[in-house]
Amino acid sequence: MGRAAVLSGVGGHVPGRAVSNEELAERLDTSDEWIRSRTGIERRHFAAPGTATSDLAVAAGERALKSSREGTADAVVVATTTPDRPCPATAPAVAARLGLTGAAAYDVGAVCTGFVYALASASGLIATGVAERVLVIGAETYSGILDPLDRSTSVIFGDGAGAVVLRAGEPDEPGAVGPFDLGSDGGGRDLITVRAGGAEQRLSGREPAPADRYFAMEGKEVFWNAVVRMAASSRAVLGRAGLDTGGIDWLVGHQANLRILRSLATELGVPAERNLGNIAEVGNTAAASIPLALADAHAAGTLAAGDRVLLTAFGGGLTWGSALLTWPDLAPS
């Protein structure tokens, strides 16, 4: 058995301003009843103007480092759809602000699957001896890319960040992460997209339409893709571990929509009370969603050392991914 990545710290952060469904209904043709019944979301948090994704990432990263015995990292991986700048990556600035100048630092872009991809990448850094301790952060400020006139996306997404610390350890100790399953289908790239702002738009030589600067999603098609892909990826990762869903204590799916999460649990045969999440409080925070759900569950004392946790996500790309881990013995946050 080779060495494994072991989870040793977790932390989350949401910006201070909670935005209720009622507040959105004041400016959009929607209602609290529609949003609750169709998505399970009651509120989300929006960053104040002037707050960047890196600000949220630093806050979550600080908490994760504090909760770990390591307290430091020699690599920082940031999963985000909303980087501070197109260039350079957000991770080096986050590392520097955390006092980790000199650490390897890079971003991972897999939209809502970003955290699972980043976790796999960070585990690889540890497995290959490139790093001993890695800080993995999912951080987003979707409020900055949402079309204020699009009710179908404006009611779903929120801002936030979640982070974990991984350290080198043994595959059979509590906190061990893996195996993983990752996949993509670029044929579906138009289903979840921001069309303008990249090389394609520059090549076309024309000014983008205002709506092309915003995040766009074909909700209905994405919905069923999300259930089917997360279920298949979950089964694949369980198969790799020689487990079935009976061997899982908690399912932590990407917090996209409560109806998606319920369909996924039904599809996998996971009881409702084992389906863990916080979508009512934070909405869909894309790459931050899974680590934020883990941080909130840890703060609530829901997860016990040795619990088997299945993480699964689906997002733009299209991308999907799943990971297994056993929960470590962490100090209460």
- Neighbour-count burial of 10, counting CB atoms closer than 10 A to its CB (0-12 exposed, 13-18 middle, 19+ buried): buried
Strands (E), 174-261: 177-184, 192-194, 215-217, 250-253
Smallest separation (angstroms) from ligand UT7 to the CB of 290:
11
What string marks each residue from 4 to 43 as x (binds ligand UT7 by CB under 6 A) or -?
A: --------------------------x---x---xx----
Q: Are 6 and 166 in contact (CB under 8 A)?
A: yes
Coil vs helix vs strand at 241 = helix
Smallest separation (angstroms) from ligand UT7 to the CB of 87:
25
Smallest separation (angstroms) from ligand UT7 to the CB of 230:
9
Cβ proximity to ligand UT7, 188 vs 315, nearer residue: 315
Smallest separation (angstroms) from ligand UT7 to the CB of 156:
6
Among candidate residues 21, 45, 225, 254, the one labeled active-site is: 254
Among candidate residues 21, 275, 284, 298, the one labeled active-site is: 284
- By CB under 6 A, tell whether 79 contacts ligand UT7: no
Smallest separation (angstroms) from ligand UT7 to the CB of 157:
8
- By CB under 6 A, tell whether 315 contacts ligand UT7: yes
Joined together, the tokens standing for residue 38 give 């169709």
Q: Are 326 and 175 in contact (CB under 8 A)?
A: yes
Catalytic status, residue 112: yes
Strands (E), 103-157: 104-108, 133-140
**Residue 274: count of CB within 10 angstroms of its CB:** 16
What string marks each residue from 213 to 252 as x (binds ligand UT7 by CB under 6 A) or -?
A: ------xx-xx--x--------------------------
Query: From the list 184, 284, 322, 326, which residue makes contact with ligand UT7 (rule: CB under 6 A)?
Result: 284
- By CB under 6 A, tell whether 256 contacts ligand UT7: yes
Among candidate residues 112, 275, 278, 298, the one labeled active-site is: 112
CA atoms within 13 A on the CB side of 231: 17
Nearest alpha carbon to residue 278 among 296, 298, 257: 296
Give the residue closest to ligand UT7 by C-beta.
219
Q: Are 289 and 112 in contact (CB under 8 A)?
A: yes
Q: Running DSSP on this structure, what letter comes out for residue 160?
A: E
Joined together, the tokens standing for residue 111 give 């939209």
Residues marked active site are found at 112, 254, 284
- Interacting residues with ligand UT7 (CB under 6 A): 30, 34, 38-39, 112, 151-152, 155-156, 192, 219-220, 222-223, 226, 256-257, 260, 284, 286, 314-315
